[in-house]
Amino acid sequence: MNLIFLGPPGVGKGTHAKLLSERFGIPQISTGDMLRANIKQGTQLGLAAKAYTDKGELVPDQVVIDMVRERLRQPDCVKGYILDGFPRTVPQTEALAAFARIDAVVDLEAGEDIILGNLGGRRVCRDCGATYHIRRLDGATTCAACGGELIHRADDQPETIRHRLEVYHRQTEPLIAYYRETGLLINVLAEGDIEHDFALILKVLDLE
């Protein structure tokens, strides 16, 4: 089961990919997580990527393509994987087709007001990268997993969110048409709570 999760920032791709990963024992491959790890570690890739992510822009295609190709060669991907946040452009999509077989593409959709609420209330652990929402934190300011400080990321600020959505509509939405033509696209309206939306995803993938 090789899956791609598409959708605008803040729609829940990471949350649902993680739930699916835990349920079926296949890795969630998040290019965002991999890039943030490099940024935190101060690698050459991380420093180059930070200049783009701080402005809400996409990291250049070839950097991300090479990173994903190498990741899919790892042994834990043999039984399947979930690509979360990749591909994001048509060139990335075409490059992926050369080295990976995809079974289904789940396109999560939500209105802009839902997305602004999701991202505006998101808090991320500075140390381990775990994500939370203020609706579920009950005032907590530290990570339940490691005790690290919860921060409001620069790319989750209102002005940057709107810019990220503009970038998505311009560069990533064409992928929806691309995958619709292949017959792999499955649309899911993700405007409910986590449990409700995850149940919809399982249903459309025939994994109930």
Instruction: Record the pTM.
Output: 0.78
Query: What pLDDT, in 10s, does the model give residues 196-205?
Result: 999 999 999 9
Which entry of 40, 164, 180, 203 is annotated as an active-site residue? 164
Q: What is the pLDDT of residue 50?
A: 86
Quick one: which H or E segment has residue 4? Answer: strand 2-6
Q: What is the pLDDT of residue 77?
A: 96
Domain 2-111+158-204: CATH class, spelled out: alpha beta
Is 123 among the residues known to form the active site? no
Which entry of 13, 36, 50, 123 is annotated as an active-site residue? 13
Is 101 among the residues known to form the active site? no
Which entry of 36, 50, 71, 122 is annotated as an active-site residue? 122
Q: What is the pLDDT of residue 38?
A: 80
Q: Is 189 helix (H, G, I), strand (E, B) or coil?
A: strand
Q: What is the pLDDT of residue 88?
A: 84
Which entry of 69, 153, 162, 180 is annotated as an active-site residue? 153
Q: What is the pLDDT of residue 45?
A: 76
Residues (pLDDT < 70) of the chain are none
Which entry of 36, 71, 88, 123 is annotated as an active-site residue? 88
The alpha carbons of the chain give a radius of gyration, in whole angstroms, of 16
Question: Can you give the residue ranges of every domain in the chain?
Answer: 2-111+158-204
Q: What is the pLDDT of residue 161?
A: 85
- State the Cα angle at 107 between 183 and 132, rounded to 5°: 155
Alpha helices in the chain (DSSP H): 13-24, 31-41, 44-53, 61-72, 90-97, 112-120, 134-137, 158-167, 174-182, 194-204
Is 40 among the residues known to form the active site? no
Instruction: Read off the tokens for 84.
Output: 């979360």
Long-range Cβ pairs for the range 129-132 (8 Å, 24+): 129/33, 129/36, 129/37, 131/14, 131/15
Q: What is the pLDDT of residue 54?
A: 81
Query: What pLDDT, in 10s, does the model give residues 171-187?
Result: 888 899 999 999 999 99
Q: Are 100 and 70 in contact (CB under 8 A)?
A: no
Longest dimension (CA), the chain: 47
